[in-house]
Amino acid sequence: MKIVFATTRVPFPPNRGDRIRNHYILRHLAREHELHLVSLADPGDPGRARHELEGQLASVSLVEQRRMAVAGRVARAMFDGSSLVAATFANRRLAEAAANAAGANTDLLWVSNGALYPALSGVPADSRVVDLVDADSEKWRELGEHHRGPVAAIYRREAPLTRALETYAVGDTDRHIVVSRAEAESLAAHADTPLATTIVANGIDLEAFPRAAIADEPRIIFTGVLDYPPNVDAVLYFASEILPLVRRRVPATRFVAAGSSPTAAIQRAARRFDFEVCGDVPDIRPYLASARLSVAPMRLGRGTQNKVLEAMASGVAVVGTSRALEGLGSDAPNVAAAADGAEDFADRCVELLSDTQLATGRAEQAHRFVAEYHTWEASYAAIDAMLDQLRARPPIQTTLSAGAR
C-alpha cells in the first residue's frame, strides 16, 4: 500500500509519548508498504531526524511551525470560538505537503492526531485512518476541573471543541484508533451510533530496554516530559504529599524526576522537598537501572503510560495510581502496585523499598507481563488486521491487540 502518514511532531528521536508511538508504527509499516511521512517540525528539530527517517521511508516532508504564524492562527481561533489546538496544527504548508505526497493514487491517509485531521481532510486517499490515541477531550475537561484561573478557562473551553473534533474525525474516516479499552469506552459513551474502533496498545522494545538487576539503594524515580501538565501534577503531588510519608519510615529514600524540560514549579519543589531533577536526559535507561522503584502517581492524563512499560521492561518495580495503570488491562494489579491515596501510595512504596524479595518478585512478574502482552509485535498484529480489513472492506468490527485485553 502507498501510505501518507501525518504527525504533529517529528517521530524521531523516540523520546516522548507521541514520538515513541509513531516511531514504532512507522517502522513497522515501512517494512511492507510505501511510506511517505509529512510532519510538523519545531525550529529546533535536529537534522539527524530527517537523515534517520529518510533512510527508512519513501519520502519525508518536514514543515516548520513558524511561531508568528501559529500565534496568528491561535489568536483568530480565540476570537472565532474554534479549537486552539486545531488552530496550532492548521498549517497550510503541511496540507500542501500531504497532498503532494499523496498525488493521484494513495491507498491510505494515516493521521496521528484527531486535532490534526481537519487540516488534512481534503488530502485524496482511498482510505483514511485517524489515531486518536487518547480521548483528548476528557483530558482537557479534567485539566479544566483541576486547575484554576485563566489556564483553567482555556482548558474548559477546549474540552467540548476537542470532543467535536473527535466526533468529526471518527465520522469522516474509515477507521479510528485508540490506545486502550478505557479510551474506546470513553469515545463510545459520547457516540450516537456504534463505533468501529481499533485498539492498538502502546508497546515496549525489549531490546532497547533490557532487564537489569534490582537496585539496592532506596531510590525512587519518575520519568517523563516534565512540562506536560499531568506529569507536572504527578511530580508535585508525589513530592509534597507522598515522599514525606515514605521518608518517615525509610529516611534514606532518594527521589529523582528524570526526563526533559522541567518546569519552574518542579525546580522549586525539588529545593523545598529535597529531590533531584534531571532535565534533558539523553538516555533514560541508566536512571531506571539505578532505581529500586518507579512511580506513576498520575491524577490526570489518559492512556497507556510509556513510563510504566519502560520501568517494567527494565526490571524495576512499579507503584502507580489506578489511572496510570488502566492501560495495562485487567492484569495490572498482579504486576504493579496500585494505590490512589497518598497514604496508601506511600505504604506500597515503603513495602517495596524495605523488602528486596518482594521488589524482585514484583519486577520479575512485570517484566514477564510486558514481554507477553505489551511488545510492539502484539500491537502490530492489530494494525495488520485493520489494514487487511480496509483492503477487503469487511463489516465494521472492533479489533483488539493482545496488550489491550
pLDDT digits (tens, 9 = 90+) for 85-100: 999 999 999 999 999 9
Q: Which fold has domain 2-203+375-404?
A: Rossmann fold (3.40.50)
Question: In the structure grid, which three cell numbers stand for residue 309, read together?
Answer: 512499560
Question: In the structure grid, which three cell numbers stand for residue 355, read together?
Answer: 523488602
For the chain, give every domain's residue range: 2-203+375-404, 219-373
pLDDT over 70 at 396, yes or no: no
Q: For 153-196, how does the pLDDT look when each residue is reduced to its tens digit (9 = 90+)?
A: 999 999 999 999 999 999 999 999 999 888 888 888 888 777 87
**Average pLDDT for 318-333:** 81
Q: Residue 114 in 3-state DSSP? A: coil
Q: Around Cβ 21, how many Cβ atoms within 10 Å?
A: 26
- Answer yes or no: are the C-beta atoms of 61 and 101 closer than 8 Å: yes
Q: Which helix (H) or strand (E) holds 221?
A: strand 219-225
In this prediction, residue 403 carries a pLDDT of: 45
pTM, rounded to two decimals? 0.89
Identical fold for domains 2-203+375-404 and 219-373, yes or no, is yes
Task: List, in order, residues 6 or more apart from 51 with CB less than 8 Å away.
Answer: none
Q: Which CATH architecture has domain 219-373?
A: 3-Layer(aba) Sandwich (3.40)
In this prediction, residue 48 carries a pLDDT of: 73
Cα atoms in the 13 Å half-sphere on the side-chain side of 108: 25
**Average pLDDT for 268-276:** 97
Calculate the dihedral angle through the C-alpha atoms of 262, 264, 266, 267, rounding to the nearest 10 degrees. Answer: 90
CA distance 95 to 299: 36
pLDDT over 50 at 398, yes or no: no
In this prediction, residue 303 carries a pLDDT of: 65
Span of 15-24, 187-196, 286-295, 360-369 with lowest mean pLDDT: 187-196
